[in-house]
Amino acid sequence: MQTFLLVGTLISTAAIFTLPVSANQITAIDAAANTMNLAQLETLGEQSQDYDKAYANYRLAIGANILGQPTLASAALNKAQNQLEDLTQGSVNAENLALLASVYGMQIGLDTSKGAIYGPKVGTSLNQAQTLEPDNPRVLLIKAISAFNTPAAYGGSMENAVSLSSKAIDLFANPCDNICWGHAEAYTWRGLAKQNSGDKQGALDDWHAAVNVQTDYTWALFLLKQDRDANQ
């Protein structure tokens, strides 16, 4: 899992620019990530541009890490970081910044010694993103993931993770036709936060809700199966 370390924040404002992304491409990336199809994610990363390219590499890094391929995970994550940093230099917008914050957080997850370098960047990127688009559900989702993974000594908490993911879930109900990923993921993270807070039934309810959003959502299905197996 990603480990986020928030050390300081910097809020700044900037103009919002239109993202040259394809909803179909995002859907294809999500489908490949859901089945852990690393080869397809690599292909999509090569074929895509801008945000799509970075998102494909981000999902490739997560999949490779889960499947025990740290070299591929690190290489893909570095590509995503470089692509997003280049994009934010040219035009600052909430989607780029939110994904970049998640990439920084995963860099810490892969190597905790990088916390001092990337921790402040997570906070900076998320606060800039929220200033630009306070009602963007992915910004709140990534803030929730950050709260989940950040040690309590640095401001993390399960309570904040539940609260932020709940806000994200509410916002995912709004119409979306461009970058729309994260709805089922938000329920899954909220369930994990509830589980860590001792609310097992609440966790199960959220994982079922994730499957209601996306019937083949592998992560939530795995967590539900894990619970069933543990109770047999």
Strand, helix or coil for residue 46: helix
Tokens 């620019």 belong to 17
Distant-in-sequence, close-in-space partners of 130: CB < 8 Å, separation ≥ 6: 94, 136, 139, 140, 143
* Distance of alpha carbon 107 from alpha carbon 210, whole angstroms: 26
Nearest residue to 98 via CA among 177, 160, 212, 181: 181
- Rounded-to-integer distance, Cα 147 and Cα 142, Å: 9
Low-confidence residues in the chain, pLDDT < 70: 1-21
How far is CA 69 from each of CA 61, 62, 194, rounded to the nearest angstrom?
A: 9, 10, 30
| pLDDT at residue 21, as a whole number | 57
Q: How far apart are CA 42 and CA 38, in angstroms?
A: 6
Topology of the domain comprising 152-221? 1.25.40
Helix (H, G, I), strand (E, B) or coil at 81: helix
pLDDT of residue 98: 98
Neighbours of 219 (CB within 10 A): 20
2, 32 in Cβ contact below 8 A? no
Question: CA–CA distance from 165 to each of 139, 202, 221 (Å)?
Answer: 10, 13, 19
pTM of the model: 0.88
Structure token digits, residue 184 = 């089922």
Q: Report the Cα 78 to chain-centroid distance in Å.
A: 16
